[in-house]
Structure 1
Amino acid sequence: MSSTTPTFHPRPAASTSTLHPDIIRTNIFTRLDGSTLAAAACASSELYLLSTEDKLWQNICNSTWASINNPRVSRVISTFPAGYRSFFSDSFPVLDHQQSLKHNLDFSSTLSTELISCVDVYYKNSLIMSKTQETEKVNGWFLCSPFRVDLFDLKESVLTPKVHGGTWLNDIEENLTLSWILINPVKKRALNISSGRAASVERHWLTGDIQARFATILAGDEGSERELVKCEVVVTCGGKEGRDVHVREVSLQVEDMEGRSLSGRDSLVILEGAMENGKRKRGNGSEEKLKYEEFMERKRERRRRKQRREMSMDMASILTGVSIFLGIWTFVLFR
């Protein structure tokens, strides 16, 4: 008795051309997140054309950043070259800006008159704060003063869920995330200046509050104390461990390697240069934390060198004074 092994003839895989475009657009693309949709768009010209529908990207952006669900912001994003798709491309990936300030000097004469901040804070992936704030900078006071954006008034705060288990510092470092998108309505560009996860979490020495720092390191003026600048968002949390935590302060500042706050004009030159020339790439925050630590180490090293120079100058001044003193007395005694 002979047996015959059956032969299977696999059916060829269905190509996207066999699916109606409406099925791809409404039943497949609507289920994708932004990065996956962008990757799918690279597969073929057909998929690219289907993926350019602005409504798809509007739904993705609105679900990613609650703070942009604002009529004013929606009108601004609609003016971007490719609408919400351009906005997502500017805002979702990690910012990598390495072009020195010397290449950005042209921006100093064409600074915009307004910035829009769209900020979302999450605790364990749950949204706890979402706020949109417009910063007008039409006067000389803003351009000459230290650049700072505060989201809260002194009496405002946001309640977070109760912290459970572990230490308070570790819990906030692991579970608190932040997105701060700056939008330039005039130049129709945006950038996300947050590192996503905190680059540093520490307890304030005086108040006992927890300060989580989300930082992006940007290129500044090569060869100076602004060779690199730190664009930092500080989230201040107060309360007691085991109880509800209050987010009391969320502020943005730009500092140089000496720890000095940059002026409004200098900060805007760097930020707008980063909008135009900064590269966007995917990341999970670990690289940004490493850049932050390297920046802080270079800052400490500059401080140590400065202290050594000052000590040397002080010693030279003391020796010069002693020499002059001895010279005068020698002249007086042996005259």
Structure 2
Amino acid sequence: MIPGSRPPPQPPPVPSCGDSSGGSFTLLHPDIIRAHILSRLDGPSLASAASSSSQLRTICSVDELWRDICASTWPSTTNPSLHDLISTFPLGFRSFYSDSYPILHLPSIPSGPLAPSLKMPSKLISAIDIFYAGDLLFSKVQETETSIPRFMFTTFQIDLLEPKESIKTPIPYASQSVENMIRHLEENLTLNWILVDPTYKRAVNLPSPQPVSVCRDWLYLGVAQLQFSSFLGGDHEESEFVECRPTLVCRRGVDGRMEVVEVSMRMEDIEGRGLSGKSSLVILAEAMEGEKRSLKVRRGAGGIGIAMKERFEEFQEMKRKRRERRRRWERAADMACIGVGIAIAMSFFLWLHGLFSCSTS
């Protein structure tokens, strides 16, 4: 600096977050924060913002914010009957989002016997949203009575489409090879299937959002079977784990584009056998009550889809090993039966031989 000259003017200090001079974020009117800032966040970001200060926690608890997030994430929640039901949850749409956003976690080992006093729902409400390349393809809310004998003692299966009903899609078929078609479906078709218990005000989002398997053989016939999966703890007596398997079946339409002709869900044990409605309801009730949820999923390309595919492959490997053990046991049992049969035949032959020898002598 030149002697005798004045120092250059300094810029005004930047107010800190706790400064009361008018620059603090928290000095903004709560309506401005809610309408112009928090309304632009997704669910996880809104939950993170709520943990930053007591004032933001209060603003982030406004049910309108969570209602809008639920509507953008799952358009089926705008259905009037489901909307009214969610409003009766303990914390409204915030409770519903908390139940439905996490991905159910497949435990490494069984966690123990099922709780003896589970709260069993008398009905289940399915909220389904199917997206293609981010655009909503299909949305539906359907109620299933779970207390009737037809549900309790038959194989658990929920069907959303009538036999002659179909969903038109913009998915091209003829211009793609089988490999490209599989990759295209896995990357662009997503499914959210939330089961809601209207009695005890709880929900669970079951399947992987992206397909974990696309049947290659079916594609040669113009039909695609897309499997989505979620894995739950079993009854720990007959099966340690069970698979909740939502399935989409698409076929080639008359216009050369795919159309969805089946949207269904069933429960299978590790042997591939379908579970009854009663057993499935117990497992679903435990999943809704338990804390087997995990928000720690991979970020980046694939994200949740990669994690769920790994779980699916792990479950398939468990099924393969179980089948191998069963086949070995069956072969050993067959050999034992053959040995016993031969021993009985030889004993009978020796007895006849001895009897004949005694009679001739």
How would you bin the TM-score normalised by the shorter chain? over 0.9
TM-score (norm 2): 0.86
* Whole-Å separation in 1 of the counterparts to 2:176 and 2:221: 23
* Whole-Å separation in 1 of the counterparts to 2:192 and 2:207: 6
Q: How far did 1:130 drift?
A: 0.7
**Equivalent in the alignment of 1:243:** 256
**Which stretch of the first structure deviates more once superposed, 92-101 or 62-71?**
92-101
What percent identity do the matched residue pairs reach? 42
**Equivalent in the alignment of 1:123:** 132
- Cα–Cα, structure 1 residues 41 and 200, in superposed 2: closer, same or farther, change >3 Å? same
- Cα–Cα, structure 1 residues 87 and 289, in superposed 2: closer, same or farther, change >3 Å? same
**Equivalent in the alignment of 1:227:** 240
CA contact (8 A) 2:235 2:283 kept: no
Q: For residues 136-285 of structure 1, what are the structure 2 equivalents within 5 Å?
A: 136-163=145-172, 167-203=180-216, 205=218, 208-222=222-236, 224-239=237-252, 243-277=256-290, 278-283=292-297, 284-285=304-305
CA contact (8 A) 2:249 2:263 kept: yes
Q: 1:66-119: CA deviations, max 9, x gaps?
A: 111111101110110100000011111212264647233322xx4211110000
**Equivalent in the alignment of 2:341:** 321
Q: 1:44-76: CA deviations, max 9, x gaps?
A: 110000011111111111121111111110111
> Secondary structure at 2:327's aligned position in 1?
helix
Which consecutive residues of structure 2, in runs of 5 or more, have no partner in the other structure? 17-22, 298-303
1:17 to 19, 23, 26: 26
* Whole-Å separation in 1 of the counterparts to 2:91 and 2:141: 22
- Cα–Cα, structure 1 residues 52 and 116, in superposed 2: closer, same or farther, change >3 Å? same
Amino acid at match of 1:262: L
Q: 1:201-254: CA deviations, max 9, x gaps?
A: 1135596521111101111122x4420000110111111799311111010111
- Cα–Cα, structure 1 residues 77 and 32, in superposed 2: closer, same or farther, change >3 Å? same
* Whole-Å separation in 1 of the counterparts to 2:171 and 2:144: 33
* Whole-Å separation in 1 of the counterparts to 2:143 and 2:76: 12
1:58 to 49, 55, 67: 67
1:103 is the counterpart of 2:114 = yes
Q: How far did 1:265 drift?
A: 1.0
Amino acid at match of 2:270: M
- Cα–Cα, structure 1 residues 300 and 271, in superposed 2: closer, same or farther, change >3 Å? same
Q: How far did 1:16 drift?
A: 2.4
CA contact (8 A) 1:198 1:214 kept: yes
- Cα–Cα, structure 1 residues 150 and 75, in superposed 2: closer, same or farther, change >3 Å? same
* Whole-Å separation in 1 of the counterparts to 2:32 and 2:280: 47
Please provide the CA RMSD for this pair.
Answer: 2.3
> Secondary structure at 1:138's aligned position in 2?
coil
CA contact (8 A) 1:122 1:128 kept: yes
Q: 1:174-205: CA deviations, max 9, x gaps?
A: 11110000000011000100111111111355
CA contact (8 A) 1:256 1:262 kept: yes
**Equivalent in the alignment of 2:316:** 296
Q: How far did 1:330 drift?
A: 2.7
* Whole-Å separation in 1 of the counterparts to 2:258 and 2:80: 31
Amino acid at match of 1:215: S
Amino acid at match of 2:44: S
User: Per chain length, whose mean CA-contact separation is higher, i.e. which structure has more relative contact order (CA < 8 Å, sep 6+)?
Assistant: 1
* Whole-Å separation in 1 of the counterparts to 2:42 and 2:333: 59
Q: Bigger radius of gyration, 1 or 2? A: 2
**Equivalent in the alignment of 2:99:** 90
* Whole-Å separation in 1 of the counterparts to 2:344 and 2:176: 67
CA contact (8 A) 1:212 1:235 kept: yes
* Whole-Å separation in 2 of the counterparts to 1:153 and 1:104: 37
TM-score (norm 1): 0.92
Amino acid at match of 2:317: E
Give the count of matched residue pairs: 332
Q: 1:28-50: CA deviations, max 9, x gaps?
A: 11111112111111111100000
Which consecutive residues of structure 1, in runs of 5 or more, have no partner in the other structure? none
CA contact (8 A) 2:253 2:259 kept: no
CA contact (8 A) 1:145 1:263 kept: yes
CA contact (8 A) 1:177 1:196 kept: yes
